[in-house]
Amino acid sequence: MDIVRSYFRDIFLTIRTVVGTLFVLNKGFEDVSKRINSDPGLPIPNPTASFWQEDPLYPELVNIKSDELPDTADVVIIGSGITGASIARTLLRECEATCKVVMLEARQVCSGATGRNGGHIKTSPYNEFRELKEKFGLERARAIVKFRIKHVEVLTGLAKAEGINAECREVETVDLFFHHDVFERNEEVVRELAIDMPDIAARVRTWDVAEARKNFSVGDHVVGAISYPAGAIWPYRFVTSILRSLLSSYPFNFSIEANTPVTSISTNQDQDRPFTVLTDRGNIKTTHVIHATNAHAPHLVSGIRGKLFGMRGQMSAQRPGKSFPRLGGSRSWSLIYREGYDYITQRPGDDGEVMAGGGWAQSGNRGLDEIGIWSDDATNFLAGSHLSGILPMAFGPKHWGEDGEGGRLKSMWTGSIGITADALPFVGRLDASLTGRRPPLRTRATRAAVAPAEWICAGYRGEGMVNAWLCGVALAVMVQGREDVDAEEQPGRPAGPLFDWFPREMLISPGRLRRANVKRVG
């Protein structure tokens, strides 16, 4: 959800204002600063139960591990969410099964952010466009917006091509506004988008108060709406289906080691495999280490602490009211307030659960208390109270009706969102100054075409489904040194050389990190 960018910007501007005044000693802001610069540690072992992970399609994958941990690999991927799955799939397919890939996961497979999010494949082209244009110029803003929009086509196309049962579909998404001034500002940006990106704006439509209430079956508090195409997905099923397929197709080149947290990484003198990944089950010597743990990446990469940090998000699965329109999972919504927003999808089927998340602005202290929180073992009382009651108010008694049998709330859980200080993902090779680990210089020819390195692909600010897959593909291309290859388009993989479709603005570098600062986010 790109509306999250505006909300985080408001928070960071508030922090900047306080830091720049005599109130710098305000303990609340001191606590936030301390948290975002701290070590996130490993994922905790007892997270809240996510609806998406109930009754898995492939129960044999949940705690999968080898009898003995492999002692060598060409690539070790840390993290088993959508980023890790994308990287592994691209590496294995493009290296033609000549590389050995080991995926390590601290908890159960896909138990982090991917298995806990809202299921949107949604980017708001109008909401972020103006700021991107101011920062990068018109052409680069277009490229970034199109990169994110492309995920709807890529993910739905891949799910169809591989027969993945993950409810991956195109939807009409509707942003509902509850304040006239907020709606009018966004109408203005839509008009600007029509001038600068007419091809994208042609699919964005604004609706006045009467039209919105009539066409979208919403309550009397709605003052306007903006609609455009998007997608929705069961993310846990999507990723576990991809991983199962890779295990079947590459049984000698790919393994997944669940419940195997990485405790540290060190270097050795082996010029082929100069990195040693240490776990409590043993150690792996490898050529490349990829950090695909999103908000938890700063645990093993200390140089990005304060530049990438966690924020706890909250999600719920709710039974639809008896009068709620049955749309077969063809629509999603955002409820946009003067401060904060909520996001909603509905699963396909007449009685499909309404999946509602958000409540940050209502969680206490304008959401600041949730920043720098990596643990997903508890829910926030105020955010939960908000999410539990917002749906009948937003859609109105007429369109929601009485709650169905069993009550409204089915489950509620949390997850850790990875936020970068400049609001773009971190993708690419990690400089040794960020890791504190420098492999030995190569003095002879080695089997690795690309110099051994650590890499990162993380920091999607709550928008993983419109960033992570193609960021993962891009990183896998870099690890193989194939940036200039004019590749053919395949399911899950765009055509052409890498930088024809991947925005260079997302590449990580020491210079970019020096400039990235939460006090001037965006």
Q: Please report which confidence band the pLDDT of residue 152 belongs to, taking 50, 70 and 90 as the band edges.
A: very high
Give residue-wise pLDDT tens across range 168-180. 999 999 999 999 9
CB 471 within 8 A of CB 83: yes
CA–CA distance, 268 with 275 (Å, rounded to integer):
6
pLDDT value at residue 128? 83
Within 8 A by CB and 6+ apart from 76, the residues are 101, 102, 103, 104, 275, 277, 284, 286, 288, 289, 290
Give residue-wise pLDDT tens across range 466-499. 999 999 999 999 999 999 999 999 999 999 999 9
Within 8 A by CB and 6+ apart from 381, the residues are none
Percent of the chain with pLDDT strictly greater than 90: 85
pLDDT value at residue 20? 37
Q: Could you tell me the CATH superfamily of domain 51-115+236-307+422-520?
A: FAD/NAD(P)-binding domain (3.50.50.60)
Give residue-wise pLDDT tens across range 443-467. 776 766 799 999 999 999 999 999 9
Return the SS3 of 195.
Answer: helix
Residue 11 has pLDDT above 80, yes or no: no
Residues of the chain with CATH 3.50.50.60: 51-115+236-307+422-520
pLDDT value at residue 208? 97
CA–CA distance, 167 with 170 (Å, rounded to integer):
10
Q: What is the pTM (predicted TM-score) of this model? A: 0.94
pLDDT value at residue 29? 72
Give the residue-averaged pLDDT of 128-133.
88
8-state DSSP, 36: H
Residue 4 has pLDDT above 70, yes or no: no
Tell how strand 120-121 and strand 262-267 pair up. Answer: unpaired
Strand partners, 169: 232
Within 8 A by CB and 6+ apart from 184, the residues are none
Residue 363 has pLDDT above 80, yes or no: yes
pLDDT value at residue 156? 98
Give the residue-averaged pLDDT of 147-167.
98
Within 8 A by CB and 6+ apart from 398, the residues are 219, 323
Residue 96 has pLDDT above 80, yes or no: no
- Phi, psi of 332, rounded to the nearest 5 degrees: -130, 165
Residue 28 has pLDDT above 90, yes or no: no
In the block, residue with structure tokens 């079956």: 217
Task: Provide the token pair at 105.
Answer: 């996961």
Q: Please report which confidence band the pLDDT of residue 26 belongs to, taking 50, 70 and 90 as the band edges.
A: low
Return the SS3 of 507.
Answer: strand
Within 8 A by CB and 6+ apart from 199, the residues are none
